């Protein structure tokens, strides 16, 4: 689509990662980009753990669901966490810290694309394993893990994941997710 930032238009949740290490400078830019996200009252509710050391990566690998086998190639895994008290809890019970962390993750993803990297956030992991492996206090919510790396080959990916890598980007029709001036959804 014309007019969209290239990074937004081309970002995908690719799985074909290279295990080539990322430079400290690139990791620093990714993390700084994440921290530049807006947040309610500038509360900055996000906490990021950037993992690159082999022993620490193995700990995170142990938390991954079977379908996220491909993430074990990533030279960088980022754990994103928060505590609800880090941000506003609104009158209707919304925990705004989760929204702030989502904004920060999007900044990280956009910066990754601009660096020529793939960055794939995952829900398929066991947060209790992550907390135990890294002594993260119980009151934290480990929201997502993000696999980050250079583009790699399709070698080692399942047929399903090869098809996803080579297929068109799938988006719902905008009419299913956008309405104007009045609510149009069930």
Higher pLDDT, 88 or 22: 22
The structure's pTM equals 0.93
What's the CA gap between 39 and 99, in Å, rounded? 8
Helix (H, G, I), strand (E, B) or coil at 112: helix
The answer to whether residue 2 scores a pLDDT higher than 80 is no
Angle at 115 between CA 113 and CA 117, to 5 degrees: 60
pLDDT per position as a tens digit, 92-146: 888 889 999 999 999 999 999 999 999 999 999 999 999 999 999 999 999 999 9
Q: What is the pLDDT of residue 1?
A: 62
Q: What is the pLDDT of residue 127?
A: 98
What's the CA gap between 30 and 44, in Å, rounded? 16
Q: How far, CA to CA in Å, does 40 sit from each of 101, 109, 147?
A: 11, 21, 27
Helix (H, G, I), strand (E, B) or coil at 81: strand
The mean pLDDT of 151-175, rounded to a whole number, is 90
The domains located in the chain, with CATH, are: 6-177 (3.40.109.10)
Angle at 117 between CA 6 and CA 62, to 5 degrees: 135
Q: How far apart are the first and last CA of the chain?
A: 28
Closest to 39 (Cα-Cα) out of 107, 93, 92? 107
- pLDDT tier at 91, thresholds 50, 70, 90: confident
Core vs surface per residue 22-37: b (16+ CB within 10 A) or e = beeebbebbbebbeeb
Which residue bears the tokens 């209790």?
128
The mean pLDDT of 77-90, rounded to a whole number, is 91
């Amino acid at each position: 689509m014309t007019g969209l930032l290239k990074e937004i238009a081309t970002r995908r949740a690719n799985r074909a990662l290279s295990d080539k290490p990322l430079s400290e400078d690139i990791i620093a830019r990714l993390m700084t980009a994440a921290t530049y996200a807006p947040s309610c009252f500038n509360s900055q509710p996000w906490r990021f753990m950037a993992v690159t050391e082999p022993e620490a990566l193995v700990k995170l690998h142990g938390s991954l669901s079977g379908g996220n086998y491909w993430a074990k190639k990533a030279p960088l895994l980022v754990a994103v966490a928060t505590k609800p008290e880090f941000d506003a809890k609104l009158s209707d019970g919304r925990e705004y810290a989760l929204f702030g962390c989502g904004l920060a993750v999007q900044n990280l993803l956009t910066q990754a694309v601009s660096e020529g990297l793939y960055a794939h956030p995952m829900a398929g992991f066991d947060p209790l394993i992550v907390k135990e492996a890294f002594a993260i206090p119980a009151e934290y919510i480990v929201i997502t893990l993000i696999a980050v790396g250079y583009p790699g080959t399709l070698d080692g990916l399942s047929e399903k994941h090869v098809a996803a890598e080579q297929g068109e980007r799938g988006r719902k029709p905008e009419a299913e997710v956008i309405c104007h001036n009045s609510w149009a959804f069930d």
